[in-house]
Amino acid sequence: MKTRIIGTGSCLPKAVVTNDDLSKYMDTSDEWISSRTGIKKRHLAVEETTASMSIEAAKQAMENAGVTAAEIDLIILGTVSGDFVTPACACEVQAAIGADRAVAFDINAACSGFMFALNIANAYIQAGLYRTALILGAETLSKIVDWEDRSTCVLFGDGAGAAVVRADENYGLLSFDQGSDGTKGDVLACPGRANNNPLIKNYQKLSYVHMDGQEVYKFAVTTVPASLQKTIEAAGLTAAEIDYFALHQANIRIIQSVSKRLHVNEDKFPISLDHCGNISAASVPILLDEMNRNGLLKPGMKVALSGFGGGLTWASAVVEW
């Protein structure tokens, strides 16, 4: 029995902010952002929330899969920017779509969140506990980035992506690799709520994402190709036999470096970061949905997926479409 992706969906906020727009608010330029990252614009939430975008993406994925809410056994949502500490965003999705039977919970694996959700769903399905799962990655990063730190805020955007996965006898997930390195947690971090109880002398202000971009870059260009190589070999394939690589959309230079290291043409690496920026856990499912809706994916095709980021965390998979 395999775990097959049978439908995808996504939602981006209405407001689009170009690099030139950002240069009106801070000392930056389209030239700097485009040349260092490949990002041209991003969507930022105004009225949208992490839950509202997740619900829209979920509905699209269910429609694309031809699955009703009653059929969903499990909802797993990767996010670092849910609207509430509790309830979980996955529970908000459950309520909105009416998936009464489902078990719903969030996970935090930063930019690898969707990939970790995929592997958890796969483990449940392989164990025979559940048959159909809705997995999501959703972020409103614009509320946790520091808009006074131009080295991070220009990179990120908001949005949500979803996929329905189901047990399938023929096609599905062929192999998986995932890992974490908690010793490097500080290179990409966002502190949680400060403890301001009456015993604390100094009132702590809210804190935002901070990142050592070069450390994250070094981690990505070494760990991602190694993880992909391992996963592709575990699937009994070579990199040349993979039809598409759907990577976390952090930086075009990271994607180019991975393509070089795997000796695979860049054409096999579809891109969404140019119009979305980096949307952490939502990057991979949004890209996958764009590929699906643009007709790139045909049954039986081999697609390698990879997410990487804060934690540090990383995860790769090879799926048959």
* Whether 197 is catalytic: no
Does the footprint of ligand UT7 cover residue 24 (CB under 6 A)? no
Residues 231, 277: Cα–Cα separation, whole Å: 26
Number of residues that bind ligand UT7 (CB under 6 A): 20
Residues 299, 281: Cα–Cα separation, whole Å: 25
Fill in the per-residue mask, 59 to 98: x = in contact with ligand UT7 (CB under 6 A), - = not in contact.
Answer: ----------------------------------------
Shortest Å distance, C-beta 216 to ligand UT7: 4
What are the strands, taking DSSP E only, across the chain? 2-11, 15-18, 41-44, 74-78, 103-107, 132-140, 158-168, 173-180, 188-189, 210-211, 244-247, 302-309, 313-320
Fill in the per-residue mask, 271 to 300: x = in contact with ligand UT7 (CB under 6 A), - = not in contact.
Answer: -------x----------------------
Catalytic annotation, pick one of 64, 119, 122, 278: 278
> Segment contacting ligand UT7 (CB under 6 A): 28-36, 72-80, 139-147, 175-183?
28-36
Nearest residue to ligand UT7 on Cβ basis: 213
Shortest Å distance, C-beta 56 to ligand UT7: 23
Give residue for tokens 């991975």.
Answer: 258
Which position among 113, 225, 270, 309 is part of the footprint of ligand UT7 (CB under 6 A)?
309
Q: By C-alpha distance, which of 178, 199, 206 is closest to 312?
A: 178
Residues 223-262 that bind ligand UT7 (CB under 6 A): 250-251
Q: By C-alpha distance, which of 17, 11, 108 is closest to 51?
A: 11
Helix 89-97 with 50-65: angle, nearest 10 deg: 50
CB-based burial label for 217 (10 Å; 0-12, 13-18, 19+): middle
Residues 199-218 that bind ligand UT7 (CB under 6 A): 211, 213-214, 216-217
Coil, helix or strand at residue 121 = helix
CA distances from 187 to 81, 95, 177, 181 (A): 18, 36, 22, 11
The smaller minimum CB distance to ligand UT7, of residues 12 and 250, is found at 250
Shortest Å distance, C-beta 197 to ligand UT7: 33
* Whether 111 is catalytic: yes
Shortest Å distance, C-beta 269 to ligand UT7: 15
CB-based burial label for 170 (10 Å; 0-12, 13-18, 19+): exposed
The smaller minimum CB distance to ligand UT7, of residues 97 and 220, is found at 220
- Binding residues vs ligand UT7 (CB under 6 A): 28, 32-33, 36-37, 111, 150-151, 154, 188, 211, 213-214, 216-217, 220, 250-251, 278, 309
Residues assigned a catalytic role: 111, 248, 278
